Structure 1
Amino acid sequence: MKHAVLLGSLFMATTAMLPFASMAAQATRASFGHAADGQNIDIVTLTNSHGMRARVMTYGASLQSLLVPDRNGKLADVVLGYDTLQGYLDRRQYFGATVGRYANRIAHGTFPLDGKAYHLTLNDGPNSLHGGVKGLDMQVWKVVDVKQGAVASVTMQYSSPDGDQGYPGNVTIKATYALSDDNQLKIAYVATTDKPTIVNLSNHTYWNLGGEGSGTVMDHLLMIPGDAITPVDATSIPNGQVVPVAGTPYDFRMAKPIGRDIRDGRSQQLLFGHGYDMNWVISRKEAEARVVARVEDPRSGRVMTLWSSKPGLQFYSGNFLDGTTVGKDHHIYRQGDAFVLEPQLFPDTPNHPDFGSARLAPGETYRNTIIYRFGVDGAMAK
């Protein structure tokens, strides 16, 4: 079997002010346009010595693009999105976005906390999705730190006020994107609160390892080590069960093409989601960061290994890309042209005590560190 290897050594960086440009990491900052209310949107570009380049914008603390080399060293942008800010403003699709306060869904937009019921804004039929009507993906974040050296990084911050979308507590959230010379992109989310609340943050990047606009990802080979899923109802809310994946289309414990079983009409879950759109149980509690998914594109040879400490992984196969989105370089995005992998708590956890807890109290710190390691297939083959 082919094995992915990560490209190695330490990060190179540069700025125009550094005399040894080849010895340091590059992080540059520029304007990306203005929001509807006139606020300036910054975009920070992180680059390593292999030419890998990440662009992160303050609108939604979003990954706007990521250039990754293939087996021949050719770079391609593997992230769906738009060339200009206006596309993100015109249509909410969570491209590359930080999602929360609660990533995924809360049933009927209601949850109990410390004996009180809270009511969120509804934006997904009867439910609240990814933080509600105006979640973190639609907010303008502030750049608080840009670093260059062995690793290039940018830290952005947003302060969500008490009552924002119905959530309690003044919550301060930081998102740090860091690119290192071993072709690793790390996103670290940190949050604190001044009164009890719930927090569940994740990233909603749409990936195509062949390059955005290159067509379907149904031939990408996906491995998810979870041995169960949390099935949902017709509105994508978990029914409280935990069901083994063995013998079902949801069994990705051994890598297989995303599209191999996606048309299995015996699966009610695939019918509900128009494809894969469900939570895999990686564990029943948080643990040290470990591999939660591995994806390989046979055509380009690009491999992405995803690490996280969170117990759940939402996998979405781009089912609602319907050909009406014109993205970067005038590419039309169609069903199955990308996949999304979101390490997080289980959906609707506040309404399912058996799923764990999303509670964050004053003095505590919420963390979700997501690591994407990129390599190529067959790099060790002789």
Structure 2
Amino acid sequence: MTIFTLHNARGMRVAIDAHDASVRAWWAPDRYGRLADVLGAAPPAARAPTGWQCAPPDDGHLLLHLTQDGLTVRLAYRLDDDGSLHLDCAATADAVSRFALAAPRFNLQGHHAAVGDHVLRLAADHYSLGGCADGSPLDVAGSALDFRQPAPLASRLAWPALAHLTGFRHDFYWTGCGQLREAARVADPASGRVLRFSSSQDSCHLSSDGRCFSLLARGVQLQPGQVMRFTLAYRLGVQDLDAFDISEPVSMMSNK
């Protein structure tokens, strides 16, 4: 395993595994300036391609290349001083290929805490169960999957429609793509940390369990000769929870 670490002027450190291009650790300050690793666990290795090639980082940038089974991918990481980690991806294929990045799995309070009180705002109008190709996406209005107003993860998993689930495994969709824009924001009341997720795509995948959550671009299928480009950004900072306009009370109870 080869790990490269990016640094910024705020003291943040982001560790990236060159084998599968995944983010393995991200040290960021809380509201009191205390640093902690806000990644809850390593991403599942089987879900992302391995065998990336890269050079040591240069001035906060890390460039990785992958050539595998007719698929060619260029992935650039950049850590900015405002706390933003940018991912610029370009992929081409000589044959029909499926491609997905490894998802950073966040826990904004720390490794040993639960994420049920993490408050999510997600600007999506439609959703579907992740990996389900049957039927059209459903309208979020009136459902437990409507996060257009901020709500704690655990409170939504307590709704009868989701009570049988231990976490989220859903795809979310919004209108418009091409330009990088904020799609989701997650706040942790205990630490004050806030994660802003931006994407140039028109959808994302939300996954969670009791100890971590992830937001990432959905996997894409490329046709021969097709070029796919997209940009993601994760920005970590701190925020007063009172300014977050939460639609449901934070229970301060552990998630399932």
User: Does 2:30 align with 1:70?
Assistant: yes
Partner of 1:201: 100
Partner of 1:317: 208
- Deviation for aligned residue 1:265: 2.7
Counterpart contact for 2:71–2:97, Cα < 8 Å:
no
- Deviation for aligned residue 1:225: 0.5
Instruction: Provide the rounded CA distance (Å) in 1 between the counterparts of 2:66 and 2:227.
Output: 15
Alignment partner of 1:210 out of 103, 109, 117: 109
Partner of 1:159: 67
Indicate the percent of aligned positions where both proteins have the same amino acid.
28
Q: Which runs of 5+ in 1 are unaligned?
A: 1-40, 83-92, 100-129, 162-169, 319-335, 350-357
Instruction: Provide the rounded CA distance (Å) in 2 between the counterparts of 1:147 and 1:241.
Output: 44
TM-score (norm 2): 0.86
Partner of 1:56: 16
Partner of 1:184: 84
Q: Which runs of 5+ in 2 are unaligned?
A: 244-256
Residue by residue over 1:76-127, the C-alpha shift from the partner in whole angstroms, topping out at 9 and shown as x without a partner, is 1001236xxxxxxxxxx52xx6x8xxxxxxxxxxxxxxxxxxxxxxxxxxxx
Partner of 1:277: 169
1:295 is paired with a residue whose SS is strand
Counterpart contact for 2:107–2:115, Cα < 8 Å:
yes
User: Does 2:213 align with 1:342?
Assistant: no
- Deviation for aligned residue 1:196: 4.2
TM-score (norm 1): 0.59
In structure 1, what residue type is equivalent to 2:233?
I
User: Does 2:237 align with 1:370?
Assistant: no
Counterpart contact for 1:199–1:360, Cα < 8 Å:
no
Residue by residue over 1:5-40, the C-alpha shift from the partner in whole angstroms, topping out at 9 and shown as x without a partner, is xxxxxxxxxxxxxxxxxxxxxxxxxxxxxxxxxxxx
Instruction: Provide the rounded CA distance (Å) in 1 between the counterparts of 2:66 and 2:178.
Output: 27
Counterpart contact for 1:231–1:241, Cα < 8 Å:
no
Alpha-carbon RMSD: 2.3
Counterpart contact for 2:171–2:218, Cα < 8 Å:
no
Residue by residue over 1:242-273, the C-alpha shift from the partner in whole angstroms, topping out at 9 and shown as x without a partner, is 21111111010011111112022334xx63x5
After TM superposition, the structure 1 = structure 2 runs for residues 7-156 of structure 1, keeping only pairs within 5 Å, are: 41-81=1-41, 94=44, 130=47, 135-136=48-49, 139-144=50-55, 146-148=57-59, 152-156=60-64
1:67 is paired with a residue whose SS is strand
Alignment partner of 2:153 out of 258, 264, 275: 258
Instruction: Provide the rounded CA distance (Å) in 1 between the counterparts of 2:115 and 2:129.
Output: 24
Partner of 1:359: 222
**Which of structures 1 and 2 has the larger relative contact order (alpha carbons within 8 angstroms, sep 6+)?**
2
User: Does 2:226 align with 1:226?
Assistant: no
Partner of 1:299: 190
Structure of higher CA gyration radius: 1
The verdict on how the C-alpha distance between 1:172 and 1:359 changes in structure 2, with shifts beyond 3 A counting, is closer
In structure 1, what residue type is equivalent to 2:107?
N
Counterpart contact for 1:189–1:201, Cα < 8 Å:
no
- Deviation for aligned residue 1:231: 4.0
Instruction: Provide the rounded CA distance (Å) in 2 between the counterparts of 1:360 and 1:179.
Output: 31
- Deviation for aligned residue 1:200: 4.0
Partner of 1:241: 136
In structure 1, what residue type is equivalent to 2:168?
Y
Instruction: Provide the rounded CA distance (Å) in 2 between the counterparts of 1:190 and 1:287.
Output: 13
Instruction: Provide the rounded CA distance (Å) in 1 between the counterparts of 2:57 and 2:167.
Output: 39
Question: Where is the strand percentage greater, Structure 1 or Structure 2?
Answer: 2
1:202 is paired with a residue whose SS is coil
2:235 is paired with a residue whose SS is strand
Instruction: Provide the rounded CA distance (Å) in 2 between the counterparts of 1:368 and 1:224.
Output: 19
Instruction: Provide the rounded CA distance (Å) in 2 between the counterparts of 1:239 and 1:340.
Output: 23
1:266 is paired with a residue whose SS is helix
Partner of 1:112: none
